[in-house]
Amino acid sequence: CAKMLVGHGRFSFWSLVVGASKLPDNLPCPVTFLSPHQLVHFELEFILASLQGWRSYIVEPSVTKDITSFFIEAQNDALLSHVFARIGSWRASLKSLRGLLDNLLFFLYYKDHPVEFQLWAEGRHSLPISEYVTYLTNHPIFSKVDDSLTGLDSFRKEYSVLSKAVHASSGSFRMTDDVQYPAIMVHDLSKLGKWVTRERESIRIVNMILITMFQSEIESAKQLQLRKTISFAVPRTYHAKIRSTFNVRLISS
């Protein structure tokens, strides 16, 4: 399918999100519900590319391989969500987005806690998600900045929404109805719209949290290419405040 992707302009996207050298020859071609909605699809591709930017320019060069694996799993969760949405598997796509948020927390916590990571690797360490969030809230870098800019206030809200999909605790996240069973691929434009909102918000939150944590690595003129990819994922309404608070210059034009 890689040759087909090249022919349809998809190669550039997959190169951005997984790296051109890692693009497999046998990349699968799923049934694509999003295909008729190319403008939405195209925008989301650039948003997803920000995760590869963080991985390539910040995470892999500065964090151990074991800890980087949490970030890679988070990135993979985001890609899974995109693929599930392409075929209309809405609940699975939302569950994958929550996996993205989970693994982001694990990455940020365990990079600062090597002893706890060793215990985790042995199956002897696990915290409630709220405690991972509390760690970031109390972190010296985060505690000096309003939660509305660090992304933590939005994280709490978004995590709660996505958890309803994970636990099937709200009827609006069901795949089935009175007449549809089994429901594996549901081509529903209203569910597409809801998923697009959730994906945009989840990726924005991830970027805001990473900007806060790694602000010194991307401030001023540093890491221009990374800042370009971040700029697609973080709406322009945040750019001025990010610059004044963190001295991180996103590209607004």
Over residues 154-191, the pLDDT tens digits come to: 999 999 999 998 888 877 777 777 777 777 777 788 88
Residue where the block lists tokens 């951005």: 16
Q: Which residues contact 236 (CB under 8 A, 6 or more apart)?
A: 252
Question: Which among 240, 249, 229 is positioned nearest to 13, based on CA atoms?
Answer: 229
**CA nearest to 47, candidates 238, 196, 253:** 196
Cα–Cα nearest to 162, from 218, 80, 229, 93: 93
Nearest CA to 17 out of 53, 65, 71, 41 is that of 53
CA 186 – CA 170 distance, rounded (Å): 17
What are the angstrom distances between the C-alpha of 137 and each of 108, 133, 246? 12, 6, 17
Helix pair 152-167, 90-110: axis angle to 10 deg: 130
Exposed / middle / buried, residue 191 (Cβ in 10 Å: 0-12, 13-18, 19+): buried
Of the candidates 41, 33, 36, 40, the one whose C-alpha atom is nearest the C-alpha of residue 14 is 41
Q: What is the structure's pLDDT at 192?
A: 86
Chain segment 40-90, per-residue pLDDT in tens? 555 777 789 999 999 999 999 999 999 999 999 999 999 999 889 888 899
Residue 32 banded pLDDT, cuts 50, 70, 90: low
| Banded model confidence at residue 35, pLDDT cuts 50, 70, 90 | low
pTM: 0.86
pLDDT tens for each residue of 7-22 = 344 444 444 544 544 4
